Amino acid sequence: MYRRRGEVVKTRLGPIHFTYLLGAEANRFVFANSDLFRWREAFEFLVPITGETALITSDGEPHKRRRRLVQPAFHHRQIAGYVDTFRRNADRVIDGWQPGTVVDAYAEFRRAIRRSTIELLFGERLAADEQRLGDQLQLVLDLLDMLPFERLLQERLGLPKWRRALAAKAEVDARVYDEIVYRRAHPDEAGTDVLSSLVEAVDEDGDRLSDEEIRDQVISLISAGYETTSAAMGWLIHELVNAPKHWQRAAGAPYEDPLIANLVSEALRLHPPAVLSARYVATEFEYAGERIPVGAQLIISPFVTHRLAEIWPEPKRFDPDRWDPERPGYHKPTPAEFLPFAAGPHRCIGATFATVELQVVLSRLLERVSLSPVPQRIEPIGYGAMRPRYGVQVRIDEVR
């Protein structure tokens, strides 16, 4: 659409008008004019998953307040304390591998990332039940793979998939509420996990998050945390196992090494989990000579932006060296050109959490394992997080 019709593309699905603003300049405009948009209407379909008060479905002052209270849990110093957990759960996966066998590396590390996310959000008390929590959440996340009208049909008719998802969500909610009650009753046992931070959070006005707000932040952060991060890890392994020179160069590098960071950035560029990002147009405006009316659903696309040759030479090639400042012709991308976590006031609050986790897990994989590719069909799927539909099959050659 971008090549044929330019930056502004208008479409319609029944009564819903969609306007795509495509490319870096369009992204820059959207991020700089957040007052023109609302998020609640654009992400209404997420409410059954995230709850009413999650950051992604909040606007205006309520969003600012909640983000201000959640933010300390994702401070750089706090995330530095998560590294051992990321490493331990990656090693747990690798310890179970045997040379000569074939595994789905995406599925294997999806479990590790899910465990780390739940462990760091809930603490050890509920981490032991990670499998059950993950299975229940997956029933809810499966709704995101449906087209909007399919999901609406499931809801309106109360079809079995919708009912199972709601029952699963209710079970997860109950577990989170139980833990909130326990934390409030046992402040002396408060740990350093995110849930403790949310329970104890107080802003400069003395405000605290309600139990509902804490539940919604936790559920949305778990869902977004392991769904998107594990998708990125799957694509990263797929690219690296087919580019052994990069694997060999980075083997043994610590997670903080620029080589590791460049590999992660390049995977996020080629395969951003958030293919599309939506806004609801609250104030009519004009862009590139086109009038965009109130009520339109505005769509921007990290995927399109990340594959434009005018920004990224040979955009479809996996080339981590493009992130090396010492490389001739290096161009540091702006937030409008590289946006795997979006930008502006609704930038993903877990961006640093996800990036560090990817770097730690990748560093352990490169240090401990030698893999080779297996012939397979690689195909993307997913609206909530673009992931490899059939997994990433690899042959384990060596485990150290």
Count of domains forming the chain: 1
Task: Select from 368, 367, 333, 335 the least CA-distant residue to 351.
Answer: 335
List, in order, residues 6 or more apart from 199 with CB less than 8 Å away: 180, 183, 184, 190, 209, 214
Q: Which residues are annotated as a binding site for heme?
A: 348
Q: For the purposes of burial, counting CB atoms within 10 Å of the CB of 110, is it exposed (0-12), middle (13-18) or buried (19 or more)?
A: buried
Rounded distance between C-alpha atoms, residue 297 and residue 279, angstroms: 6
Domain that holds residue 175: 2-399
Q: What is the largest CA-CA distance in the chain?
A: 62
In terms of Cβ atoms closer than 10 Å to its own Cβ (0-12, 13-18, 19+), residue 39 is buried
Distance from the first to the final alpha carbon of the chain: 48
Report the CATH number at residue 84.
1.10.630.10
CA–CA separation, 13 vs 297, rounded Å? Answer: 11
pTM of the model: 0.93
Rg of the chain, C-alpha, whole Å: 21
Angle, helix 351-368 to helix 105-122, in steps of 10 degrees: 130
Specify binding-site residues.
348
**Per-residue tens of pLDDT for the chain, all 400 residues:** 999 999 999 998 777 788 999 999 999 999 999 999 999 888 887 787 788 888 888 998 888 888 887 887 788 888 888 999 999 999 999 999 999 999 999 999 999 999 998 888 778 887 888 888 888 988 888 887 777 778 888 888 999 999 999 999 999 999 989 989 988 888 887 676 778 888 887 767 777 888 998 888 888 888 777 889 999 999 999 999 999 999 999 999 999 999 999 999 999 999 999 899 999 999 999 999 999 999 999 999 999 999 999 999 999 999 999 999 999 989 999 999 999 998 888 888 889 999 999 999 999 999 999 999 999 999 999 877 899 999 999 999 999 9
